[in-house]
Amino acid sequence: MLLVAAAPAGAQTRLVNMIPQSRSGETNQDAEPTLTVDLNDYSRIVGSAFTWDNLTPSLIVPSKVGSGFPTGDINVGFSGVLSGAAAHETSWFYAGTLSSTVSTRPMTVLRAQDPFSATVMTTLDTRTGNVDQPHLRVLSSLSGTVGQDRLYVGFNNGYSCVMPNGRTSTIDASQNASIAAPALALDVIEARNTACQDGFAQVPAPHLDGTV
């Protein structure tokens, strides 16, 4: 599920139950929550999780929209740099999901200009074949071509011993993800053979200087 909410004004701490009321009857845990804040507008906060008792369908539920579509894993992120920097005046919103609209649950990389909008997010890339746990990180560049969105989606590409040599630790990357039709390319980050596969979580950490 995906919750979109405006942050309260002023400095304060608040504990928020992000489960939508329509899902309050769930009977199992919510798994792998993520949170992202728009660095250009701190009032724009998006949280996500998925629910074990209803994976098919589990829902992305924008709180201001009330619509949804089936997903498994969800990971979200805003692009941008620190508020006030000239590199990126408008942040894009990105998500990596396992789509439960298909029985094989392919990984999809999505993008939207406004997560509060009812407009369906644009699909930038789809990866199939025993894929799992997309972990997305995005940052607007301050070097090279300033303001380009560097997008990195770490995921397990070929679990259950289907990948030759067991090298499943992979990043799906774009160096300019905010253009109309960005190209994403796979980068296998495991340099050694394994007996079957790498662990499931591949979490990229981009730096402002371009190091990942």
Would 51 be classed as within a structural domain? Answer: yes
Worst-scoring range by mean pLDDT, 24-33, 55-64, 131-140?
A: 55-64
| Residue numbers of the domain that contains 38 | 2-7+19-188
Distance in angstroms (rounded) separating the CA atoms of residues 130 and 95: 19
Look at the block and give the residue holding tokens 């992120």: 77
Would 128 be classed as within a structural domain? Answer: yes
Would 174 be classed as within a structural domain? Answer: yes
| Strand ranges inside the chain, DSSP E | 2-6, 30-37, 44-51, 58-59, 70-78, 93-99, 107-112, 122-127, 131-140, 149-157, 169-174, 185-188
| Highest-confidence segment of 58-72, 130-144, 165-179 | 165-179
Q: What is the pTM of this model?
A: 0.79
Would 164 be classed as within a structural domain? Answer: yes
pLDDT in tens, 58-113: 444 443 333 444 445 566 777 765 434 444 445 888 988 887 777 788 999 999 88
- Average pLDDT over every residue of 27-48: 77
Q: Which residues are CB-contacts of 121 (< 8 A; sequence separation ≥ 6)?
A: 93, 95, 110, 111, 112
Task: State the burial class of residue 68 (Cβ atoms within 10 Å of its Cβ: 0-12, 13-18, 19+).
Answer: middle
Neighbours of 59 (CB within 10 A): 19
**Alpha-carbon distance values, 178 to 22, 41, 105, 121, 183 (Å):** 33, 18, 25, 13, 10
Q: What is the DSSP string of 9-53?
A: SSS-------S-GGGTT--S-EEEEEEEE-TT-TTEEEEEEEEGG
Would 116 be classed as within a structural domain? Answer: yes
Would 194 be classed as within a structural domain? Answer: no
Would 196 be classed as within a structural domain? Answer: no
Domain count, the chain: 1
- Average pLDDT over every residue of 201-212: 84
